[in-house]
A and B are shown apart, each in its own frame.
Chain A
Amino acid sequence: MTATTEVPAVERPVRSIAAARVDRPQPPSPLSASLTLGWRSVLKIRRIPEQLFDVTLQPVIFIVMFVYLFGGAVSGSTTEYLQFVLPGILVQTVVMASLYTGISLNTDIGKGIFDRFRSLPIWRPAALLGALLADGIRYVVAGVVCLGVGMAMGFRPDGNMLEVLAACLLVLVFAFSLSWIFAFLGLVMRSAGAVQGVSMLAMFPLTFASNVFVDPSTMPGWLRSWVDVNPVSQLVTAVRGLMAGAPDAGAIGWSLFGCAVLVAVFGPLTMRAYRRKA
Chain B
Amino acid sequence: MTTLAIEAHGLVKTFGENRAVDGVDLAVRAGTVYGVLGPNGAGKTTTVRMLTTLLRPDGGSARVLGHDVVDDADQVRRLIGLTGQYASVDEDLTGTENLVLQSRLVGLSRSQSKRRAAELLESFDLTEAANRPVKHFSGGMRRRIDLAASIVVTPDVLFLDEPTTGLDPRSRGQVWDIVRGLVAGGTTVLLTTQYLDEADQLADRIAVIDRGTVIAEGTSADLKASVGRSSLHLRLADEAQRDLAERLVAQTLDTMPHRTPEAGVITAPVADPDLVADLMIRLRAEGVGIDEIGVQRPSLDEVFLALTGHAAEDDDTERTAA
Contact = CB atoms under 8 A, between A and B. Distances in A.
Does B associate with A?
yes
Interface of A: 1-3, 5, 7-11, 13-28, 32-33, 36-37, 39-40, 43-44, 47-48, 111-122, 278
A118 B80 CA distance: 12
B178 A7 contact: no
B123 A120 contact: no
B154 interface: yes
Interface in B110-124: 116, 119-120, 122-124
A27 B107 contact: yes
The 4 A-B residue pairs with the shortest CB-CB distance, nearest first, are A18-B181, A8-B173, A17-B123, A15-B181
Given A5-B197, A8-B170, A19 B299 contact: no
Given A16-B123, A26-B107, A111 B301 contact: no
A120 B105 contact: yes
Nearest to A26: B107
Contacts of B179: 18
B55 interface: yes
Nearest to A123: B74
10 contacts: A2-B299, A8-B173, A17-B181, A18-B179, A20-B185, A22-B152, A40-B90, A47-B93, A115-B54, A121-B74
A120 B92 contact: no
A117 B92 contact: no
A82 B151 CA distance: 56
B154 A21 contact: yes
Contacts of A39: 101
A24 B107 contact: yes
Contacts of B74: 121
Given A113-B90, A116-B88, A28 B104 contact: yes
Contact of B105 (A2, A21, A114, A122): A122
B139 interface: no
B180 interface: yes
B165 interface: no
Given A14-B123, A121-B74, A19 B82 contact: no
Contact of B88 (A11, A28, A115): A115
Contacts of A33: 105
Contacts of B149: 116
A28 B154 contact: no
B239 interface: no
B312 to A, nearest CB: 10
A14 B101 contact: no
A37 B90 CA distance: 11
Nearest to B82: A119
Contacts of A8: 169-170, 173-174
B250 interface: no
B5 to A, nearest CB: 16
A32 B152 CA distance: 18
A27 B107 CA distance: 5
Nearest to B78: A121
A7 B106 CA distance: 32
Given A18-B151, A118-B53, A121-B77, 12 more contacts: A3-B299, A5-B200, A11-B125, A15-B180, A15-B181, A17-B124, A19-B182, A36-B101, A40-B97, A47-B92, A111-B91, A120-B77
Nearest to A36: B104
Nearest to B80: A119
Contact of A22 (B78, B97, B116, B186): B116
B153 interface: yes
A27 B106 contact: yes
Contacts of A26: 107
Given A2-B299, A120-B77, A7 B176 contact: yes
Interface string B71-104: 0001001101110111111111100010001101
Contact of B185 (A14, A21, A278): A21
Contacts of A7: 173, 176-177, 201
B268 interface: no
Contact of B201 (A5, A19, A112): A5
B215 interface: no
Interface string B137-161: 0000000000001011110000000
B181 A14 contact: yes
B76 to A, nearest CB: 9
B114 to A, nearest CB: 13
Interface in B228-245: none
Interface in B21-71: 49, 52-55
B128 to A, nearest CB: 15
B256 interface: no
Nearest to B175: A14
Contacts of A32: 104
A118 B54 contact: yes
B225 to A, nearest CB: 14
B77 A18 contact: no
Given A11-B177, A27-B106, A120-B106, A1 B82 contact: no
A112 B101 contact: no
Contacts of A117: 105
Contact of B178 (A14, A20, A40, A47): A14
Nearest to B93: A43
**Interface hub of A13, A43, A116 (most chain B Cβ within 10 A):** A116
Contacts of B151: 18, 22
